Amino acid sequence: MGPKRGQGRSPRSRLSSGKARRATTPAAPPPLIFAIVAAYGILILLATLALSHRGPAGSAAIAPSPSVDPSLNVAGGDFVVTDGWDGCGIHVKLSATSKADGTAASGTIVMSAAPGQPWCKGQATGRITCLLVNGNFARLSGWLDDRSGMFTAGNVVQATLTENDPQPYGPPVDRAGFGVVAGSPECPPAIEGMGPQIMSGTLHVSPAGASKPGFQQPTPQPVPTPALWPNPAPNMDFASGDFVVVAGWNSCQIHVRLAATSKPDGTGAYGSVFMTAVPADHCQGEATGRVTCLLASGDSAMYSGWLDQATGMFSIGNVIQGSVTQNDPQAYGSTVDRAFLGLADGSPECPPALSGPGGPQIISGTLRVSVASPPA
């Protein structure tokens, strides 16, 4: 970089004058010379470091993709395809994993309407609750938590993905079929077929046990577990507790920790439940699960969700269904708190497949139910 106009002699001329002075006077160079030399040294060092971090032919270095657990099913992509209910183009961003049997699914989906017909507007975000993979074909389902425009046709997303579908003529193509319905996510998802060819972008499907080169590990959806006794948002239903109660499928006592919230219609639910058997002869094991539906009314709430990890007495099912009732009036005496917990096979339903809240009185501990306030 050249000197600015009006700043006197160049650094080289200053250095030359410094040498001349040293010839007659054995004094140390002035501090300005050290500053100039240091500045040039730093510039050279930075240039060297920049070049050392570039790949061949001057291309920027690429960080390696994180490895994906080979024991998981994987499906994901960033593509545009025609939807299955309005004939609109939708831009889909999907990232999901699950165990080989489709349970313990985790992931997110974002859908945005591509410009087109006047009714092709809106967007939606959701959580994947089921992912089944067979070779290069995947089926998935999940909750749509936030949706607008054309995506308000339902609260559940169902989809199929096919990577590299062979064609009679030409190279293989990628396909995706999407539908939006009302109800609860099912596993297996209630959708068939491979859907239309994607218009642009890429997708990937990989079953458990297969290598997953070049596919980035999906980041589990950041679903925070509600605090046990928070101040719930006034527009949300809420249920929580830390109590001991008799299980609904045997005579064992179980220690339950529950915390969940949802929108007033039960959708957009998130939360967790932890259950531990109080040790006895045949009462062993523990389980952790995710709440996917919560419906509250007055002092009672019913909920359902997936059991992701279960041992011992909790391994008889993969779905939890429960209810909690706070301050249930009694004919004689003070009010009591009640809770019911049951296990089942299948998929969580919303409303939960229960006859209603109730169950035995809790043995110890506390619980709480809070209903969303009506809009002002």
Ramachandran assignment for 318, one of left (phi > 0), alpha (psi -120 to 50 degrees), beta (any other): alpha
CB 253 within 8 A of CB 363: yes
Residue 140 has pLDDT above 70, yes or no: yes
pLDDT for the residue 229: 47
- Beta strand ranges found along the chain (DSSP E): 73-82, 89-98, 106-113, 123-134, 137-147, 156-165, 173-181, 200-206, 237-246, 253-262, 270-277, 286-297, 300-310, 319-328, 336-344, 364-370
pLDDT for the residue 120: 86
Residue 50 has pLDDT above 60, yes or no: no
Q: How far apart are CA 334 and CA 345, in angstroms?
A: 37
pLDDT in tens, 165-204: 988 888 889 999 998 888 777 888 888 888 889 989 999 9
Confidence category of residue 10, pLDDT binned at 50, 70, 90: very low
CB 189 within 8 A of CB 158: yes
pLDDT in tens, 101-133: 887 788 889 999 887 778 888 898 888 888 999
pTM recorded for the entire structure: 0.54
pLDDT in tens, 287-320: 888 888 889 989 999 999 888 888 899 988 888 9
Residue 24 has pLDDT above 50, yes or no: no
Which one of 208-222, 230-244, 334-348 scores highest in mean pLDDT?
334-348
CB 91 within 8 A of CB 80: yes
Residue 51 has pLDDT above 50, yes or no: no
